[in-house]
Amino acid sequence: MQWRHRCDRGVVGQRAKQQVDMTHRFRRDLTKSDAEAKMSKQKLQQRMKEQFQKAMGGMPSWAESKMCLFSKTKDDSDDEDEDGDDLMRKTGNFVGSSDSLPKGIIRMKKCLDANNDRPSEDRLTTVQFHPSAQVVMTAGLDQSISLFQVDGKTNPKIQSIHLEKFPVHKAQFSVDGEQVVATSFRNKLFYIYDMMEGKVIPVHTVRGLREQRVKEFEVSPDGESLLLTGTSGYLHVLTMKTKEVVNSMKINGNIAGVAFSHDGSKVFTNSEEGEVYIWDMRSSKCLNRFTDDGCVSGTSMAASKNGQYLACGSAAGVVNVYSQEECMRQNNPKPLKAIMNLVTSATFLRFNPTSEILAIASRADDEAARLVHIPSFTVFSNFPMFQRKTIYRAHRMDFSPNSGFFSLANNKGHAPLFRLLHYKNF
Protein backbone atom coordinates (compact mmCIF):
# COMPACT_ATOMS: atom_id res chain seq x y z
CA MET A 1 0.00 0.00 0.00
CA GLN A 2 1.27 3.46 -0.86
CA TRP A 3 0.21 6.64 0.90
CA ARG A 4 1.01 9.92 -0.80
CA HIS A 5 0.48 12.82 1.56
CA ARG A 6 0.43 16.57 1.60
CA CYS A 7 -0.15 18.84 4.57
CA ASP A 8 -1.28 22.40 4.14
CA ARG A 9 -0.92 23.46 7.76
CA GLY A 10 1.22 22.63 10.75
CA VAL A 11 -1.52 22.67 13.38
CA VAL A 12 -5.24 23.35 13.48
CA GLY A 13 -6.03 27.00 14.05
CA GLN A 14 -2.95 28.43 12.26
CA ARG A 15 -4.49 28.81 8.80
CA ALA A 16 -3.92 32.54 8.75
CA LYS A 17 -0.20 32.30 9.53
CA GLN A 18 2.29 31.82 6.76
CA GLN A 19 5.10 30.72 9.08
CA VAL A 20 4.72 27.64 11.28
CA ASP A 21 6.46 27.30 14.66
CA MET A 22 8.67 24.23 14.30
CA THR A 23 9.78 24.19 17.95
CA HIS A 24 6.50 22.50 18.98
CA ARG A 25 7.28 19.01 20.28
CA PHE A 26 5.08 17.39 17.60
CA ARG A 27 7.05 19.06 14.79
CA ARG A 28 10.65 18.96 15.97
CA ASP A 29 11.35 15.70 14.17
CA LEU A 30 10.47 17.39 10.86
CA THR A 31 13.38 19.82 11.13
CA LYS A 32 16.86 19.14 9.83
CA SER A 33 18.68 21.79 11.89
CA ASP A 34 18.14 24.33 14.67
CA ALA A 35 17.95 27.02 12.01
CA GLU A 36 14.51 25.75 11.02
CA ALA A 37 12.67 27.22 14.01
CA LYS A 38 10.15 28.66 11.54
CA MET A 39 8.99 27.10 8.31
CA SER A 40 6.62 28.15 5.56
CA LYS A 41 3.47 26.13 5.01
CA GLN A 42 4.67 25.16 1.57
CA LYS A 43 7.99 23.86 2.87
CA LEU A 44 6.29 22.05 5.75
CA GLN A 45 3.88 20.45 3.27
CA GLN A 46 6.81 19.16 1.23
CA ARG A 47 8.69 17.97 4.33
CA MET A 48 5.66 16.04 5.57
CA LYS A 49 5.10 14.59 2.12
CA GLU A 50 8.71 13.37 2.10
CA GLN A 51 8.31 11.92 5.59
CA PHE A 52 5.18 9.96 4.70
CA GLN A 53 6.64 8.66 1.46
CA LYS A 54 9.76 7.53 3.29
CA ALA A 55 7.69 5.73 5.93
CA MET A 56 4.90 4.33 3.75
CA GLY A 57 5.76 4.64 0.09
CA GLY A 58 7.02 1.87 -2.18
CA MET A 59 8.50 -0.98 -0.20
CA PRO A 60 7.92 0.05 3.45
CA SER A 61 10.90 -0.15 5.77
CA TRP A 62 9.19 -2.82 7.87
CA ALA A 63 9.10 -5.16 4.86
CA GLU A 64 12.57 -4.50 3.45
CA SER A 65 14.51 -6.72 5.77
CA LYS A 66 14.00 -9.67 8.02
CA MET A 67 13.72 -8.36 11.57
CA CYS A 68 14.30 -10.13 14.85
CA LEU A 69 11.09 -9.15 16.58
CA PHE A 70 11.54 -10.38 20.08
CA SER A 71 14.36 -11.08 22.45
CA LYS A 72 14.59 -14.83 22.63
CA THR A 73 14.45 -16.60 25.96
CA LYS A 74 15.64 -20.11 26.64
CA ASP A 75 12.02 -21.29 26.75
CA ASP A 76 11.21 -19.95 23.28
CA SER A 77 11.30 -22.45 20.47
CA ASP A 78 12.95 -21.71 17.14
CA ASP A 79 9.70 -22.11 15.27
CA GLU A 80 8.08 -19.35 17.34
CA ASP A 81 10.85 -16.93 16.38
CA GLU A 82 10.42 -17.95 12.76
CA ASP A 83 6.70 -17.28 13.11
CA GLY A 84 7.48 -13.78 14.36
CA ASP A 85 9.88 -12.98 11.54
CA ASP A 86 7.70 -14.57 8.91
CA LEU A 87 4.74 -12.48 10.00
CA MET A 88 6.56 -9.27 9.14
CA ARG A 89 6.80 -10.47 5.53
CA LYS A 90 3.13 -11.41 5.35
CA THR A 91 1.02 -8.30 5.33
CA GLY A 92 -2.29 -7.65 3.70
CA ASN A 93 -5.87 -8.73 4.18
CA PHE A 94 -5.57 -12.49 3.71
CA VAL A 95 -5.93 -14.92 6.59
CA GLY A 96 -3.48 -17.76 6.94
CA SER A 97 -4.69 -21.33 7.29
CA SER A 98 -4.34 -21.80 11.02
CA ASP A 99 -6.10 -24.38 13.12
CA SER A 100 -8.68 -23.39 15.70
CA LEU A 101 -7.30 -21.49 18.67
CA PRO A 102 -6.87 -23.85 21.65
CA LYS A 103 -8.26 -22.84 25.04
CA GLY A 104 -6.44 -22.69 28.37
CA ILE A 105 -3.17 -20.90 27.63
CA ILE A 106 -2.67 -18.48 24.76
CA ARG A 107 0.80 -18.41 23.20
CA MET A 108 1.88 -14.79 23.30
CA LYS A 109 4.91 -12.52 23.74
CA LYS A 110 5.16 -9.04 25.16
CA CYS A 111 6.66 -6.61 22.64
CA LEU A 112 7.88 -3.07 22.95
CA ASP A 113 4.93 -0.74 23.53
CA ALA A 114 3.21 0.18 20.28
CA ASN A 115 3.82 3.90 21.00
CA ASN A 116 7.24 3.51 22.60
CA ASP A 117 8.73 5.97 20.11
CA ARG A 118 6.39 8.70 21.44
CA PRO A 119 4.50 7.81 24.62
CA SER A 120 1.60 10.08 25.48
CA GLU A 121 1.99 12.61 28.26
CA ASP A 122 -1.55 11.88 29.43
CA ARG A 123 -4.14 9.11 29.33
CA LEU A 124 -4.56 7.28 26.04
CA THR A 125 -8.16 6.92 24.90
CA THR A 126 -7.58 5.14 21.58
CA VAL A 127 -5.49 2.38 20.09
CA GLN A 128 -6.42 0.98 16.68
CA PHE A 129 -4.62 -0.99 14.00
CA HIS A 130 -4.84 0.20 10.42
CA PRO A 131 -7.19 -1.99 8.32
CA SER A 132 -4.59 -2.82 5.66
CA ALA A 133 -1.14 -1.41 6.49
CA GLN A 134 1.17 -2.55 9.26
CA VAL A 135 0.41 0.60 11.25
CA VAL A 136 -1.16 1.39 14.62
CA MET A 137 -2.76 4.64 15.79
CA THR A 138 -2.88 6.06 19.31
CA ALA A 139 -4.69 9.16 20.58
CA GLY A 140 -5.58 10.67 23.92
CA LEU A 141 -5.88 13.56 26.30
CA ASP A 142 -2.60 15.18 25.20
CA GLN A 143 -4.48 16.49 22.12
CA SER A 144 -2.56 14.37 19.65
CA ILE A 145 -3.04 11.54 17.17
CA SER A 146 0.03 9.44 16.40
CA LEU A 147 0.79 6.77 13.80
CA PHE A 148 3.45 4.09 14.26
CA GLN A 149 4.77 1.29 12.10
CA VAL A 150 4.38 -2.06 13.85
CA ASP A 151 7.50 -4.19 13.66
CA GLY A 152 7.52 -5.44 17.26
CA LYS A 153 11.13 -4.28 17.64
CA THR A 154 11.23 -0.46 17.51
CA ASN A 155 7.70 0.45 16.29
CA PRO A 156 8.97 3.73 14.76
CA LYS A 157 6.71 6.77 14.74
CA ILE A 158 5.42 7.84 11.34
CA GLN A 159 3.84 11.09 12.47
CA SER A 160 1.96 12.90 15.22
CA ILE A 161 -0.60 15.63 14.62
CA HIS A 162 -1.66 18.14 17.26
CA LEU A 163 -5.28 19.28 17.67
CA GLU A 164 -5.30 22.59 19.54
CA LYS A 165 -7.45 22.52 22.71
CA PHE A 166 -8.92 19.18 21.64
CA PRO A 167 -8.28 16.28 24.03
CA VAL A 168 -9.23 13.24 21.97
CA HIS A 169 -12.03 11.07 23.34
CA LYS A 170 -12.03 8.68 20.42
CA ALA A 171 -10.28 8.32 17.07
CA GLN A 172 -11.08 5.73 14.43
CA PHE A 173 -9.80 4.88 10.95
CA SER A 174 -12.18 5.01 8.02
CA VAL A 175 -12.85 1.62 6.45
CA ASP A 176 -10.43 2.31 3.58
CA GLY A 177 -7.78 3.50 6.03
CA GLU A 178 -7.34 6.85 4.29
CA GLN A 179 -8.90 9.02 7.00
CA VAL A 180 -9.15 9.29 10.79
CA VAL A 181 -12.26 10.61 12.54
CA ALA A 182 -11.62 12.16 15.99
CA THR A 183 -14.02 13.43 18.64
CA SER A 184 -13.51 15.21 21.94
CA PHE A 185 -15.49 15.53 25.18
CA ARG A 186 -17.38 18.79 25.46
CA ASN A 187 -18.41 20.10 22.05
CA LYS A 188 -19.89 19.00 18.75
CA LEU A 189 -16.81 19.89 16.76
CA PHE A 190 -14.98 16.87 15.39
CA TYR A 191 -12.04 16.44 13.05
CA ILE A 192 -11.32 14.37 9.97
CA TYR A 193 -7.63 13.77 9.34
CA ASP A 194 -7.26 13.02 5.61
CA MET A 195 -3.99 11.12 5.39
CA MET A 196 -4.04 10.95 1.59
CA GLU A 197 -4.14 14.74 1.41
CA GLY A 198 -2.31 15.48 4.65
CA LYS A 199 -5.16 17.75 5.77
CA VAL A 200 -6.82 18.13 9.16
CA ILE A 201 -10.42 19.13 8.45
CA PRO A 202 -12.61 20.56 11.24
CA VAL A 203 -16.32 19.73 11.04
CA HIS A 204 -18.00 22.52 13.00
CA THR A 205 -21.63 21.83 12.22
CA VAL A 206 -23.61 18.86 10.95
CA ARG A 207 -26.85 19.56 9.14
CA GLY A 208 -29.76 18.02 11.00
CA LEU A 209 -27.82 17.37 14.23
CA ARG A 210 -29.30 18.98 17.34
CA GLU A 211 -26.79 17.78 19.88
CA GLN A 212 -24.56 19.86 22.13
CA ARG A 213 -21.63 17.49 21.73
CA VAL A 214 -20.31 14.68 19.54
CA LYS A 215 -18.42 12.13 21.60
CA GLU A 216 -19.22 8.47 20.87
CA PHE A 217 -19.46 7.17 17.29
CA GLU A 218 -18.98 4.09 15.13
CA VAL A 219 -17.93 3.85 11.47
CA SER A 220 -20.25 1.63 9.43
CA PRO A 221 -18.68 -1.48 7.84
CA ASP A 222 -19.32 -0.11 4.34
CA GLY A 223 -17.54 3.12 5.28
CA GLU A 224 -20.39 5.33 4.09
CA SER A 225 -21.84 6.40 7.47
CA LEU A 226 -20.99 7.47 10.98
CA LEU A 227 -23.33 6.41 13.75
CA LEU A 228 -23.29 9.20 16.36
CA THR A 229 -24.48 8.53 19.90
CA GLY A 230 -26.61 11.43 21.07
CA THR A 231 -28.30 12.29 24.34
CA SER A 232 -31.68 11.02 25.59
CA GLY A 233 -31.34 7.72 23.74
CA TYR A 234 -30.82 9.10 20.22
CA LEU A 235 -28.65 7.51 17.53
CA HIS A 236 -27.94 9.61 14.44
CA VAL A 237 -26.83 8.30 11.05
CA LEU A 238 -24.44 10.77 9.39
CA THR A 239 -23.22 10.33 5.82
CA MET A 240 -19.46 10.56 5.41
CA LYS A 241 -19.87 12.14 1.98
CA THR A 242 -22.13 15.09 2.78
CA LYS A 243 -21.65 15.29 6.58
CA GLU A 244 -25.37 15.51 7.28
CA VAL A 245 -27.78 13.48 9.40
CA VAL A 246 -30.04 11.34 7.20
CA ASN A 247 -31.75 9.23 9.87
CA SER A 248 -32.17 8.98 13.64
CA MET A 249 -33.23 6.19 16.00
CA LYS A 250 -34.27 6.43 19.64
CA ILE A 251 -34.24 4.04 22.58
CA ASN A 252 -35.73 4.47 26.04
CA GLY A 253 -33.13 5.81 28.47
CA ASN A 254 -29.50 6.54 27.63
CA ILE A 255 -27.29 4.60 25.22
CA ALA A 256 -24.46 2.60 26.82
CA GLY A 257 -23.00 0.73 23.85
CA VAL A 258 -23.36 0.42 20.07
CA ALA A 259 -22.20 -2.24 17.62
CA PHE A 260 -22.77 -2.91 13.93
CA SER A 261 -23.50 -6.39 12.62
CA HIS A 262 -20.67 -7.77 10.49
CA ASP A 263 -22.37 -6.75 7.24
CA GLY A 264 -23.63 -3.39 8.52
CA SER A 265 -27.28 -4.26 7.92
CA LYS A 266 -28.16 -4.14 11.63
CA VAL A 267 -27.21 -2.02 14.64
CA PHE A 268 -27.19 -3.33 18.21
CA THR A 269 -27.54 -0.94 21.14
CA ASN A 270 -27.81 -1.44 24.86
CA SER A 271 -29.05 1.08 27.37
CA GLU A 272 -27.86 2.16 30.78
CA GLU A 273 -31.13 0.63 31.99
CA GLY A 274 -30.15 -2.83 30.75
CA GLU A 275 -32.23 -3.13 27.58
CA VAL A 276 -30.93 -4.32 24.19
CA TYR A 277 -32.31 -3.00 20.88
CA ILE A 278 -31.74 -4.33 17.37
CA TRP A 279 -32.25 -1.91 14.48
CA ASP A 280 -32.48 -2.28 10.72
CA MET A 281 -29.90 0.14 9.37
CA ARG A 282 -31.70 0.79 6.09
CA SER A 283 -35.19 1.52 7.45
CA SER A 284 -34.22 2.59 11.01
CA LYS A 285 -36.93 0.27 12.34
CA CYS A 286 -36.55 -1.62 15.61
CA LEU A 287 -36.41 -5.34 14.78
CA ASN A 288 -36.33 -6.65 18.35
CA ARG A 289 -35.89 -5.54 21.94
CA PHE A 290 -35.14 -7.50 25.09
CA THR A 291 -33.72 -7.15 28.60
CA ASP A 292 -30.08 -8.17 29.04
CA ASP A 293 -30.28 -11.15 31.40
CA GLY A 294 -29.66 -10.08 35.01
CA CYS A 295 -28.38 -6.66 33.97
CA VAL A 296 -29.28 -3.60 36.03
CA SER A 297 -27.05 -1.13 34.20
CA GLY A 298 -25.55 -1.67 30.74
CA THR A 299 -22.10 -0.28 29.94
CA SER A 300 -20.69 -1.70 26.68
CA MET A 301 -21.36 -3.87 23.64
CA ALA A 302 -19.53 -5.79 20.87
CA ALA A 303 -20.58 -7.97 17.94
CA SER A 304 -18.40 -10.69 16.41
CA LYS A 305 -17.30 -10.43 12.80
CA ASN A 306 -18.52 -13.94 11.97
CA GLY A 307 -22.08 -12.84 12.77
CA GLN A 308 -22.55 -15.38 15.55
CA TYR A 309 -22.09 -13.57 18.86
CA LEU A 310 -23.26 -10.46 20.69
CA ALA A 311 -21.55 -9.43 23.95
CA CYS A 312 -23.17 -7.07 26.47
CA GLY A 313 -21.21 -5.59 29.38
CA SER A 314 -22.68 -4.37 32.65
CA ALA A 315 -21.75 -2.12 35.56
CA ALA A 316 -21.47 -5.23 37.76
CA GLY A 317 -18.63 -6.51 35.56
CA VAL A 318 -20.68 -9.36 34.09
CA VAL A 319 -20.41 -9.86 30.31
CA ASN A 320 -23.27 -11.80 28.74
CA VAL A 321 -22.55 -13.44 25.39
CA TYR A 322 -25.59 -14.20 23.22
CA SER A 323 -26.27 -15.89 19.91
CA GLN A 324 -27.10 -13.12 17.44
CA GLU A 325 -29.59 -15.45 15.76
CA GLU A 326 -31.42 -16.07 19.03
CA CYS A 327 -31.43 -12.33 19.78
CA MET A 328 -33.28 -11.78 16.51
CA ARG A 329 -35.83 -14.53 17.08
CA GLN A 330 -36.67 -14.44 20.78
CA ASN A 331 -38.21 -11.84 23.08
CA ASN A 332 -36.28 -13.16 26.06
CA PRO A 333 -33.06 -14.80 24.82
CA LYS A 334 -30.76 -16.45 27.33
CA PRO A 335 -27.00 -15.86 27.15
CA LEU A 336 -24.75 -18.65 25.95
CA LYS A 337 -22.47 -17.69 28.81
CA ALA A 338 -22.27 -15.11 31.57
CA ILE A 339 -18.57 -14.21 31.92
CA MET A 340 -17.85 -13.13 35.49
CA ASN A 341 -14.11 -12.53 35.49
CA LEU A 342 -14.30 -8.76 36.04
CA VAL A 343 -15.26 -7.34 39.43
CA THR A 344 -15.68 -3.75 38.25
CA SER A 345 -17.72 -2.25 35.40
CA ALA A 346 -17.12 -3.88 31.99
CA THR A 347 -16.34 -0.69 30.07
CA PHE A 348 -14.91 -2.09 26.82
CA LEU A 349 -15.40 -5.25 24.74
CA ARG A 350 -13.76 -6.34 21.48
CA PHE A 351 -13.90 -9.57 19.44
CA ASN A 352 -10.84 -10.46 17.41
CA PRO A 353 -11.23 -10.71 13.60
CA THR A 354 -11.55 -14.53 13.64
CA SER A 355 -14.19 -14.40 16.43
CA GLU A 356 -12.07 -16.78 18.55
CA ILE A 357 -11.21 -14.25 21.28
CA LEU A 358 -13.31 -11.74 23.21
CA ALA A 359 -11.23 -9.08 24.98
CA ILE A 360 -12.99 -7.59 28.01
CA ALA A 361 -11.76 -4.78 30.23
CA SER A 362 -12.68 -2.37 33.00
CA ARG A 363 -11.03 1.02 33.17
CA ALA A 364 -12.00 1.21 36.85
CA ASP A 365 -9.12 -0.97 38.05
CA ASP A 366 -5.50 -1.82 37.23
CA GLU A 367 -4.87 -5.05 35.28
CA ALA A 368 -8.64 -5.53 34.81
CA ALA A 369 -8.40 -6.99 31.30
CA ARG A 370 -9.05 -10.56 30.22
CA LEU A 371 -8.97 -12.56 27.00
CA VAL A 372 -11.87 -15.01 26.65
CA HIS A 373 -11.63 -18.07 24.41
CA ILE A 374 -14.52 -18.59 22.00
CA PRO A 375 -16.52 -20.85 21.86
CA SER A 376 -15.58 -22.40 25.22
CA PHE A 377 -16.12 -19.00 26.92
CA THR A 378 -13.21 -19.69 29.27
CA VAL A 379 -10.58 -17.10 30.19
CA PHE A 380 -6.98 -17.66 29.11
CA SER A 381 -5.14 -18.25 32.37
CA ASN A 382 -1.87 -16.57 31.36
CA PHE A 383 -3.23 -13.09 30.58
CA PRO A 384 -2.44 -10.66 32.11
CA MET A 385 0.84 -12.47 31.83
CA PHE A 386 3.17 -10.88 34.40
CA GLN A 387 3.05 -10.47 38.14
CA ARG A 388 4.14 -6.88 37.86
CA LYS A 389 1.73 -4.36 36.40
CA THR A 390 1.92 -3.99 32.62
CA ILE A 391 -1.59 -3.07 31.54
CA TYR A 392 -2.78 -0.63 34.22
CA ARG A 393 -6.22 0.79 33.36
CA ALA A 394 -7.25 -0.21 29.85
CA HIS A 395 -9.52 2.29 28.10
CA ARG A 396 -9.61 0.67 24.67
CA MET A 397 -8.26 -2.46 22.99
CA ASP A 398 -7.75 -3.72 19.45
CA PHE A 399 -6.48 -6.65 17.40
CA SER A 400 -4.50 -6.32 14.17
CA PRO A 401 -6.35 -7.29 10.94
CA ASN A 402 -5.35 -10.96 11.12
CA SER A 403 -4.97 -11.12 14.93
CA GLY A 404 -1.17 -11.33 14.92
CA PHE A 405 -0.99 -8.46 17.43
CA PHE A 406 -3.10 -7.20 20.33
CA SER A 407 -2.77 -3.81 22.03
CA LEU A 408 -4.39 -1.73 24.76
CA ALA A 409 -4.59 2.03 25.43
CA ASN A 410 -3.99 2.74 29.12
CA ASN A 411 -4.17 5.59 31.62
CA LYS A 412 -0.36 5.89 31.75
CA GLY A 413 -0.10 7.06 28.14
CA HIS A 414 1.22 3.73 26.89
CA ALA A 415 -0.07 1.11 24.45
CA PRO A 416 1.21 -2.31 25.59
CA LEU A 417 1.68 -4.56 22.55
CA PHE A 418 1.48 -8.35 22.46
CA ARG A 419 2.30 -10.83 19.69
CA LEU A 420 -0.31 -13.61 19.51
CA LEU A 421 1.78 -16.48 18.23
CA HIS A 422 -1.10 -18.70 17.11
CA TYR A 423 -1.81 -16.32 14.25
CA LYS A 424 0.73 -16.30 11.45
CA ASN A 425 -0.21 -13.02 9.76
CA PHE A 426 -0.41 -9.39 10.89
Looking at per-residue pLDDT, the higher value among 298 and 50 belongs to: 298
Nearest one of 234, 135, 118 to 178, comparing CA atoms: 135
pLDDT tier at 295, thresholds 50, 70, 90: very high
What confidence score (pLDDT) does residue 55 get?
A: 60
H helix or E strand, kind and range, residue 83:
helix 78-89
pLDDT at residue 42, rounded to an integer: 72
**How confident is the prediction for the chain on average, in pLDDT?**
86
pLDDT tier, 197 (very low <50, low <70, confident <90, very high otherwise): confident
Arithmetic mean of pLDDT, 298-316: 98
Residue 93 reports pLDDT greater than 50: no
For residue 73, the model assigns a pLDDT of 34
Count, residues in the chain: 426
Residues 6+ apart with CB under 8 A from 2: 56, 57, 58
Residue percentage of the chain with pLDDT more than 90: 72
* Alpha helices, DSSP H, located in 265-383: 324-329
Instruction: Tell the burial category of 241 from Cβ atoms under 10 Å away from its Cβ (0-12, 13-18, 19+).
Output: exposed
Q: What is the pLDDT of residue 199?
A: 85
Burial 106-133 (b: 16+ CB within 10 A, else e): bbbbebbbbbbbbbbeebbbbbbbbbbb
pLDDT at 61 over 60: no
Q: What is the pLDDT of residue 6?
A: 35
pLDDT band at 284 (very low <50, low <70, confident <90, very high): very high
Read off the pTM.
0.84
* Residue 166's pLDDT band (cuts 50, 70, 90): very high
User: For the residues of 9-21, what is the DSSP string, one character each?
Assistant: -SSTT-TT-SEEE
| pLDDT of res. 386 | 64
pLDDT in tens, 208-267: 999 999 999 999 999 999 999 999 999 999 999 999 999 999 999 999 999 999 999 999
pLDDT tens by residue, 384-423: 976 788 999 999 999 999 999 999 999 999 999 999 999 9
For residues 359-369, average pLDDT: 97
> Is 60 a residue whose pLDDT tops 50?
no
Is the pLDDT at 176 greater than 50? The verdict is yes
For residues 290-304, give the mean pLDDT.
98
Distance CA 415, CA 295 (A): 31
- Whether residue 63 is predicted with pLDDT greater than 60 in this model: the reply is no
Q: What percent of the chain has pLDDT over 70?
A: 83
Query: What value, to the nearest 5°, has the Cα angle with vertex 86 and ends 84 and 90?
Result: 115
Lowest mean pLDDT among 10-19, 33-42, 55-64, 202-211: 55-64
155 class by beta-carbon count within 10 Å (0-12 exposed, 13-18 middle, 19+ buried): buried
DSSP summary character for residue 329: H
pLDDT of residue 47: 74
Q: Report the distance separating Cα 195 and Cα 168, nearest Å.
A: 18
Strands 234-239 and 225-229 turn out to be antiparallel
**Per-residue confidence at 165, pLDDT binned at 50, 70, 90?**
very high
286 has pLDDT over 80: yes
Give per-residue pLDDT as tens, 99-142. 899 999 999 999 999 999 999 999 999 999 999 999 999 999 99
In tens, the pLDDT along 35-51 reads 888 888 778 767 766 66
Q: If you average pLDDT over residues 6-22, what whole number do you get? A: 52
* Mean pLDDT across 190-208: 90
Is the Cβ–Cβ distance between 310 and 260 less than 8 Å?
Answer: no
Residue 288 predicted with pLDDT over 90: yes
Secondary structure of 205-239 in the HEC alphabet?
Answer: CCECCCCCCCCCEEECCCCCEEEEECCCCEEEEEE
> In angstroms, rounded to a whole number, what is the distance separating the alpha carbons of residues 259 and 360?
15
What is the predicted pLDDT for the residue at 13?
A: 44
pLDDT score for 289: 97
Residues 234/209, Cβ–Cβ less than 8 Å: no
pLDDT band at 33 (very low <50, low <70, confident <90, very high): confident
Rounded Cα distance, 5 and 158, in Å = 12
Torsional class of 377: left (φ above 0), alpha (ψ -120 to 50), beta (otherwise): left
Nearest Cα neighbor of 328 from 377, 264, 277, 285 is 277
